Structure 1
Amino acid sequence: MASGNSREITTSQVGVHDKLDELVTKYRTSENKRPVSEHTQRAFDEVNDWLEGYDGEIILDSCCGVGESTANLAQANPRARIIGIDKSALRVDKHEHYRAQQNNYRVIRADVNDFWRLVQQSSWKVTQHFLLYPNPYPKKTQVQKRWHGSAAMVDLMAITPNIEVRSNWLIYLMEFAQAAKHYGLISDLKEVTGEFHMTPFERKYRASGQACWQLNCRSEED
């Protein structure tokens, strides 16, 4: 019996958005001239200083919320450096409740649109990128607010081909896989199972009886 009270996503969109391919193609051939915000530049510079002299694997946890997933990734990958990013100071400030005993990670406040561009311009060795339960913007008119339907997808794809996205809205992941295919990536989609939960959202959705899904992208050459 479900013990949560999270409402399921409601939308008039019944499949992959009919404008998705057009949007992905448009942004791939456009130059992103959006200026980088000052607070994100400062956050990037601070993390870059933390990585000074480090030549190992880097894992990004974008839209990390309170950073529970970042702490989980740090525990599971003790030899890597993990960076959790979220735009909300309120959520980032709550991370102390979830903090792990690892010293191999940071949770920072930054705009991922800008942070991704700075990362792809850097020499960071990002080996994996997690997008766990991003805002799905489920209204059909909101497709350009979804990462795969926005200008940010270009920078996201340039960072690493190894991307894991989770959502309780299957269409979101179907769209992401289709957009990633434009960049030469292949994807595997499966339902999240087991009792371990990566994020508070995952715990809440599954406790409410909702299915959660996991999309793993990789290069066709792998």
Structure 2
Amino acid sequence: EVEGDKETNDSFKGAALNHVTFSYDDETILDDYSLKLEPGKITGIHGVSGSGKSTILKLLMRFWDVNQGSITVDEEEIKQIPTKHLRNMESYVTQETHLFHDSIANNIAIAKKDATREEIMEAAKKASIHDFIMALPKGYDTEVGELGDTLSGGEKQRIGIARAFLHDAPMILMDEPTSNLDSLNEGIILKSLKESSKQKTIVLVSHRVSTMNIADTVYEMKDGRIS
């Protein structure tokens, strides 16, 4: 099964928004908007809050359908792709990471049920959370519930990013992935993303200029338009 995933990664054709118009609660968020997301490239989408950046990711996940135009993923119209297949092709990292009352290892392994401990640890290293986990009394077997509210927003966010690395989907969608991180942890994660980008189609949405530094192409979003 893993080999099959690798083939998908190698032959994945990226994604595109084609003349997309999308309104939410009578407000036009995207207006005749086109964007090509190239395989093997990191595409950065930069702009202030409310400019429509996150909407692009949600449309690529097909949480909503477009009003006009079309979206293609791997050269197939998104409405024709079964949800399970779409979820296998895409990893989606949000600003808020939901953790379950289970061990930290299992919280990461949600992304890949049959993951080995080595795979989980490798993903955690890429997400710059491994050292933090190892410093806990029970390491990866620490129950999230035992930590209470002691996990910071940045630590939760890095667990979410570890899930994305473990999932190893050909397309990674990241919504403000470093918003709660200091520059050191941000740097480690961005380096990991850059190293894996040759086999991936990565979309980075952020208001941070520092996050955009690793992007091959950066688009500025303003009022539902690209500049």
What TM-score results when the alignment is normalised by the length of structure 2?
0.31
Return the structure number with greater strand share.
2
Give the structure-1-normalised TM-score: 0.32
Structure with more relative contact order (C-alpha pairs < 8 Å, separation 6 or more): 2
